């Protein structure tokens, strides 16, 4: 996967059991590590970033919600490619893909 930069646009509502040191910050740019369909979140897409390892906390959180980030224009096609690869691997619904890419 090529390097994809994502901008945090929503750092609100941090769960109490995630310390501030493991939370994204509004206006900061992060490097996309992984994308998954979050079944416990109704199948919404979640992102992991290189800069923050939620797994080391040992709690239920592994991914940040996609809604917390904006994809930079230069990375849109690469991001679409990652999502489509995840779709094939994780069986993300075609409805979710259509909503994500604004396809009717």
Instruction: Write out pLDDT tens, residues 6-50.
Output: 999 999 999 999 999 999 999 999 999 988 877 666 667 899 999
Residue pair 74/26 in contact by the 8 Å Cβ criterion: no
pLDDT of residue 84: 78
pLDDT-derived band at 95, boundaries 50, 70, 90: low
Torsion of CA 3, 77, 90, 21, to 10 degrees: 40
User: Per-residue b/e over 4-27, b at no fewer than 16 CB within 10 Å?
Assistant: bbbebeeeeeeeeebeeebebeee
What does the alpha-carbon distance between residue 44 and residue 41 come to, in Å, rounded to a whole number?
Answer: 6
pLDDT digits (tens, 9 = 90+) for 47-92: 999 999 999 998 888 999 999 999 888 888 888 888 877 766 555 5
């Amino acid at each position: 996967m090529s390097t994809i930069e994502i901008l945090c646009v929503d750092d609100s509502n941090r769960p109490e059991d995630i310390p501030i040191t493991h939370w994204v910050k509004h206006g900061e740019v992060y490097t996309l590590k992984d994308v998954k369909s979050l079944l416990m979140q109704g199948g919404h897409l979640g992102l992991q970033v290189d800069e923050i390892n939620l797994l080391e906390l040992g709690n239920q959180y592994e991914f940040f919600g996609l809604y917390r980030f904006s994809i930079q224009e230069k990375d849109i096609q690469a991001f679409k490619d990652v999502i489509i690869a995840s779709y094939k691997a994780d069986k993300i619904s075609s409805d979710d893909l259509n909503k994500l890419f604004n396809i009717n």
